[in-house]
Amino acid sequence: MNKIEPSFRPGGKLAKLESVYDGMETFLFTPNTTSRSGVHIHDGNDLKRTMITVVVALIPALLFGMYNIGYQHYLAIGQHETGWFTMFLFGLLALLPVIVVSYAVGLGIEFISAQIHHKEIQEGFLVTGILIPLIVPINTPLWMTAVATAFAVIFAKEVFGGTGMNIFNVALITRAFLFFSYPSRMSGDEAFVKLDSAFGMGGGTVADTFTGATPLGQVATSVGDPAMTDIVGQPISCMDAFIGCIPGSPGETSMVAILIGAIILLLTGIASWRIMCSVFVGGLGMAALVHALPSATYPASMLDPLTQLCLGGFAFGAVFMATDPVTGARTKVGQYIYGLLIGVFAILIRVYNSGYPEGMMLAILLMNAFAPLIDHCVVSSNIKRRAKRAAYKP
Amino acid sequence: MATVRLRKGFDLHLTGSISDAAIATAPQPQSVAIVPDDFHGIIPRMDKKEGEHVSAGEPLYHDKNYEVIKVVAPVSGTIKEVRRGERRHIDAIIIIPDGGEAVKHDTTRPATDLLLDSGLWAMMRQRPYDVVPVPGVIPRDVFVTAFDSAPLAPDLDLVLGDKRQHIARGVEVLSRLTDGQVHIDVREGQHIDAPGAHINTIVGPHPAGNVGVQIANIAPVNKGETVWTLDIVTLAHIGELFNTGLVSHDTVVAIDGEMVQQPRYVKTVMGADLETLLADQLAGETQQCRIISGNVLTGVKVEPDQWLRAPYRHITVIPENNKPDEFMGWASVNPKRFSIYRTFTSWLRGLNKPVSMDSRIKGGERAIVRTGEYDAMLPMDIYGEFLIKAIISGDIDKMEQLGIYEIAPEDFALAEFADTSKLELQRIVREGLDKLRAEMS
């Protein structure tokens, strides 16, 4: 690295790539810079490690997502006896292009932005780049993913000042952009199950009984007591949703994989347990409330609370999206309120707004907007307490 | 007698602690220096010139704004050099000691005058702003910390030595200068005999010994109030001055850290030169050592040809990093790579075992991303993160509202150590305090 360094410094041939060089160098080698002012020793943790730990926590969901893409595909073409490894391989081939596109577009923009501002490349997109493939339906055309990622990184992040400054979760903005720009490709029969072949693998005639809607999609369009079926018409239970062999976005289906991720995040202390737990508490409470007041107009209200939490993107959002420290509430009290309201709104939107079968994305984005206000109120109480103390003269 | 229990904070155990409480006597220093930067808030105006003779206790310089505040020579001798840096900033005043007599003060004079003239005033600090107290302002209370909880810090009971007999007199003097009380904050099991003082026991990890943390948990500083702060050693020196008319400039210094051959306590004089003090003490070449006057969190980096700096009681020597860049350091699973967070594996090894740490930052500076990091290291009713943001953005109203009057840079030192975003919090706090002070005057 040191040999090629000079050409990247100002005046060198490749000076335009200085940020990229720095990014690569600090990625490969943790610099041995020593402190100049202030404390003389520093904790070993840095943002790179923090972000990488989140990526590690996402790996179970990623691997299971790949398997499930294959499982759903072979189920749809009537070859459900196919071996699990073939299914996984199919899913890998199907998901890999999305991951590549997401990282290439996102990191590309980050590199350019860092170079323009002559700043070091920051690590934020490491996590965002893996979140995007996990929450975007598998049949989304790659160009749509690319456009949405570019939009989100530029307008939700870079214009606010980059990593650590954004107001809204970048991955969710990508999803929301897709959702509102190309609604027909984001729900219904054709979004969540890959039917054509991936790099020549798989492919075949789709069974006649095929319906590709997610359980929540079925619930939203059902009349009366909702009965959820898998893509070939077999009924599915809460347990199926817990394990995750149901149609849905790649990362969101399996509660098991998400829980492993949650344990990693909580054990390492990266995610706030306050937010994570209160999202589930809020969701469970709201789900119990709507279940107590069932209505045929809103079929989702007939789902029992636990099934509500196992379906859709609720768990994935609670564990990986709501806990984003940059866009969430930062005070302890604020985190309880923030999480609780996300849970409540997610179920509220899911049940009482038939236009959106899933409410998690909108609930988190809504609360992202309110997080600074929640924090402001919490901090104001501290300010008031201090002012009161100053005014009090014994 | 009150007990305050603190849960936030962290006791960092470094290798190279002192195992033997015996106090060695250092050889006579070849030179002694006063560094004006140690007395924050004073703009020095020299009273003595290069080549002149000073007696121990005689003023070297006074403050530009409050001429009564004086900083005195710790030894008798000849001023060899007034070393100046950029824009004639005085870096150090160097004295070659000759072993002459010290100035004896008239103890019947008013207490304030005596404190100012003896130089002991300049050894105290005030909240707000963490500067040398402004004369003429009567403090609401006086807070004295009787222990140092920083990593490898000296036991102040040992530093006190036989000066402990003067504490009661010191309390008596300071009680007359404040409207409120003289608080002495001790750690659990420490006994300080001081009739007239309010003794508080502080239980908990570092920064429990920081006087700012103690104030915040006993009687926080509000806007418009002033509190004097000092350590128990200075209090004993004040008592001694009023008992005997003499100011002691002798001090006991803990010399410790991984790069010290034999960590130990040494008796010397304030501002002694390190060449004498550290002779044959370093375990390695000087380039491999980072010599810190003070502790690893709040101390200042000094060169081997410089001097012991205020508060004149601690020298830590840690390894200076000369290793090549660490290959993919962020991916390390080595339990010896110390982190208080569980993202690394060091917690499996136990965080209370002594660790070896060098001066690397181990990461790049970033925006504040993780939540609650500062709060976990700051046992005060203050939202550290929001306060830091207010300071960075220069919002004076917000700084006041969020409690900047209660803090000093040292209170954020532990947060700076633990900060994932590697921000220079102590520098940020100092700049905020200076800005506010300039704005208010």
pLDDT in tens, B8-31: 999 999 999 999 889 999 999 999
Asked whether residue A123 carries a pLDDT value surpassing 90, the answer given is no
Predicted confidence at residue A115, as pLDDT, reads 83
Answer whether B368 touches A (CB < 8 Å): yes
Asked whether residue B279 carries a pLDDT value surpassing 80, the answer given is yes
Query: Tens of pLDDT along B243-262?
Result: 999 999 999 999 999 999 99
Asked whether residue B203 carries a pLDDT value surpassing 80, the answer given is yes
As a whole number of angstroms, the distance between CA A390 and CA A376 comes to: 21
Q: Mean pLDDT throughout B63-84?
A: 94
Secondary structure of residue B127 in the 3-state scheme: strand
Fill in the amino acid letter for B88: R
Answer whether A29 touches B (CB < 8 Å): yes
- Smallest CA-to-CA distance from B238 within B123, B138, B341, B125 is with B123
Q: Mean pLDDT throughout B96-106?
A: 90
Asked whether residue A227 carries a pLDDT value surpassing 80, the answer given is no
Asked whether residue A389 carries a pLDDT value surpassing 70, the answer given is yes
C-alpha distances out from residue A23 to A20, B76, B239, Å: 5, 56, 58
Closest chain B residue by Cα to residue A389: B222
Asked whether residue B381 carries a pLDDT value surpassing 70, the answer given is yes
Compute the half-sphere exposure of residue A340: CA atoms within 13 Å on the CB side of its CA.
Answer: 8
Residue A99 has a CB neighbour count (10 Å cut-off) of: 18
For residue A393, the chain B residues in CB contact (below 8 A) are none
As a whole number of angstroms, the distance between CA A382 and CA A393 comes to: 19
Q: What are phi and psi of B377, to 5 degrees?
A: -110, 5
Q: Mean pLDDT throughout A305-315?
A: 86
- Could you tell me if residue B328 is left (phi over 0), alpha (psi between -120 and 50 degrees) or otherwise beta? left
Answer whether A379 touches B (CB < 8 Å): yes
As a whole number of angstroms, the distance between CA B318 and CA B14 comes to: 9
Give the A:B interface size as CB pairs under 8 Å.
Answer: 193
How large is the C-alpha radius of gyration of chain A?
23
How far apart are the CA of A389 and the nearest CA of chain B, in angstroms? 7
Across chain A, what does the average pLDDT equal?
85
For residue B256, the chain A residues in CB contact (below 8 A) are none
- Out of B338, B344, B367, the one facing A164 most closely (by C-beta) is B367
Predicted confidence at residue A16, as pLDDT, reads 66
Predicted confidence at residue A276, as pLDDT, reads 94
Asked whether residue A107 carries a pLDDT value surpassing 80, the answer given is yes
Task: Give yes or no for a contact between A171 and A133, defined as CB atoms under 8 angstroms apart.
Answer: no
Answer whether A14 touches B (CB < 8 Å): no
- Smallest CA-to-CA distance from B384 within B372, B393, B395 is with B372
Lowest mean pLDDT among A286-295, B249-258, B414-423, B426-435: A286-295
- Out of B316, B342, B361, the one facing A42 most closely (by C-beta) is B361
As a whole number of angstroms, the distance between CA A382 and CA B156 comes to: 35
Q: Which helix (H) or strand (E) holds B91?
A: strand B90-97
Across chain B, what does the average pLDDT equal?
91
Q: Mean pLDDT throughout A250-256?
A: 89
Asked whether residue A394 carries a pLDDT value surpassing 60, the answer given is no
Question: Rounded to 5 degrees, what angle do the CA atoms A63, A64, A69 make?
Answer: 100
- Smallest CA-to-CA distance from A120 within A42, A18, A4, A1 is with A18
As a whole number of angstroms, the distance between CA A76 and CA A70 comes to: 10
| DSSP string covering A51-75 | HHHHHHHHHHHHHHHHHHHHHHHHH
Predicted confidence at residue B277, as pLDDT, reads 92
As a whole number of angstroms, the distance between CA B214 and CA B4 comes to: 8
Q: Mean pLDDT throughout A25-29?
A: 70
Fill in the amino acid letter for B369: V
Asked whether residue A225 carries a pLDDT value surpassing 80, the answer given is no
Q: Are strands B182-187 and B23-25 parallel, antiparallel or unpaired?
A: unpaired
Contact (CB<8Å) B362/A42: yes
User: Position of tokens 């959820």?
Assistant: A228
- What contacts B220, CB < 8 A, 6 or more positions away? A386, A389, B380, B381, B403, B406
Task: Give yes or no for a contact between A308 and A366, defined as CB atoms under 8 angstroms apart.
Answer: no
Q: Mean pLDDT throughout B347-359?
A: 85
Residue A297 has a CB neighbour count (10 Å cut-off) of: 9
Handedness of CA A393, B4, B10, B12 (dihedral sign): positive
As a whole number of angstroms, the distance between CA A286 and CA B106 comes to: 78
How large is the C-alpha radius of gyration of chain B?
21
- Out of B368, B403, B417, the one facing A41 most closely (by C-beta) is B417
- According to DSSP, residue B87 is labeled G
Q: Which structure tokens are listed for A158?
A: 């870079």
C-alpha distances out from residue B415 to A83, A120, A201, B422, Å: 52, 23, 53, 10
As a whole number of angstroms, the distance between CA A365 and CA B233 comes to: 56
* SS percent in chain A: helix, strand, coil, step 5: 60, 0, 35
Answer whether A323 touches B (CB < 8 Å): no
For residue A32, the chain B residues in CB contact (below 8 A) are 321, 323-326, 360
Query: Using CB atoms and an 8 Å cut-off, which of residues 327-346 of chain B contact chain A?
Result: 327-332, 337-344, 346
Predicted confidence at residue A226, as pLDDT, reads 66
Predicted confidence at residue A63, as pLDDT, reads 94
Lowest mean pLDDT among A183-187, A230-234, B148-152: A230-234
**pLDDT confidence tier of residue A384, bands split at 50, 70 and 90:** very high
Query: Tens of pLDDT along A49-105?
Result: 899 999 999 999 999 999 999 888 888 888 777 788 888 999 999 999 999 999 999
As a whole number of angstroms, the distance between CA B212 and CA B409 comes to: 10
How far apart are the CA of A223 and the nearest CA of chain B, in angstroms? 45
For residue B363, the chain A residues in CB contact (below 8 A) are 30, 42, 45-49
Asked whether residue A392 carries a pLDDT value surpassing 90, the answer given is no
**pLDDT confidence tier of residue A248, bands split at 50, 70 and 90:** confident
- Out of A28, A52, A268, the one facing B327 most closely (by C-beta) is A28
For residue B325, the chain A residues in CB contact (below 8 A) are 29-32
Mutant choice from B13, B339, B343 vs A, greatest count of A C-beta within 10 A: B343
Predicted confidence at residue A22, as pLDDT, reads 73
Closest chain B residue by Cα to residue A24: B328
C-alpha distances out from residue A304 to A111, A294, A307, A362, B223, Å: 47, 10, 6, 22, 55
User: Position of tokens 């007034």?
Assistant: B82
As a whole number of angstroms, the distance between CA B77 and CA B249 comes to: 14
Q: Mean pLDDT throughout A10-26?
A: 69
Query: Tens of pLDDT along B208-226?
Result: 999 999 999 999 999 889 9
- Smallest CA-to-CA distance from B13 within B314, B354, B329 is with B354
For residue A49, the chain B residues in CB contact (below 8 A) are 330, 343-344, 363
Predicted confidence at residue A186, as pLDDT, reads 77
**pLDDT confidence tier of residue A44, bands split at 50, 70 and 90:** confident
For residue B294, the chain A residues in CB contact (below 8 A) are none
Q: Mean pLDDT throughout A346-350?
A: 90
Secondary structure of residue B423 in the 3-state scheme: coil
Asked whether residue B338 carries a pLDDT value surpassing 90, the answer given is no
Predicted confidence at residue A169, as pLDDT, reads 93
- Out of B290, B296, B326, the one facing A32 most closely (by C-beta) is B326
- Out of A35, A43, A386, the one facing B401 most closely (by C-beta) is A386
**pLDDT confidence tier of residue A223, bands split at 50, 70 and 90:** low
Q: B207: cis peptide before it, omega within 30°? A: yes
For residue B419, the chain A residues in CB contact (below 8 A) are 42-43
**pLDDT confidence tier of residue A4, bands split at 50, 70 and 90:** low
**pLDDT confidence tier of residue A111, bands split at 50, 70 and 90:** confident
- According to DSSP, residue B318 is labeled E
- Could you tell me if residue B71 is left (phi over 0), alpha (psi between -120 and 50 degrees) or otherwise beta? beta
C-alpha distances out from residue B254 to A82, B206, B211, B227, Å: 72, 18, 20, 28
For a pLDDT cut of 90, what percent of chain B falls above it?
76
For residue B224, the chain A residues in CB contact (below 8 A) are 390
Stronger pLDDT, B42 or A216, i.e. the higher one: B42
**pLDDT confidence tier of residue A2, bands split at 50, 70 and 90:** low
Count of residues making up chain B: 441
Please give, one letter per residue, the 3-state secondary structure of A285-313.
HHHHHHHHCCECCEHHHHCCHHHHHHCCC
* SS percent in chain B: helix, strand, coil, step 5: 30, 25, 50
- Smallest CA-to-CA distance from A279 within A313, A330, A319 is with A319
Q: Mean pLDDT throughout B277-284?
A: 87
Q: Mean pLDDT throughout A25-43?
A: 76
Q: What is the pTM of this model?
A: 0.91
As a whole number of angstroms, the distance between CA A269 and CA A264 comes to: 8
* Domain range annotation of chain A: 47-272
Stronger pLDDT, A79 or B97, i.e. the higher one: B97
Stronger pLDDT, B440 or B407, i.e. the higher one: B407
- Out of A50, A379, A385, the one facing B370 most closely (by C-beta) is A50
Question: Rounded to 5 degrees, what angle do the CA atoms A216, A222, A227 make?
Answer: 70
As a whole number of angstroms, the distance between CA B408 and CA B214 comes to: 12
Q: Which structure tokens are listed for A84?
A: 């699990």
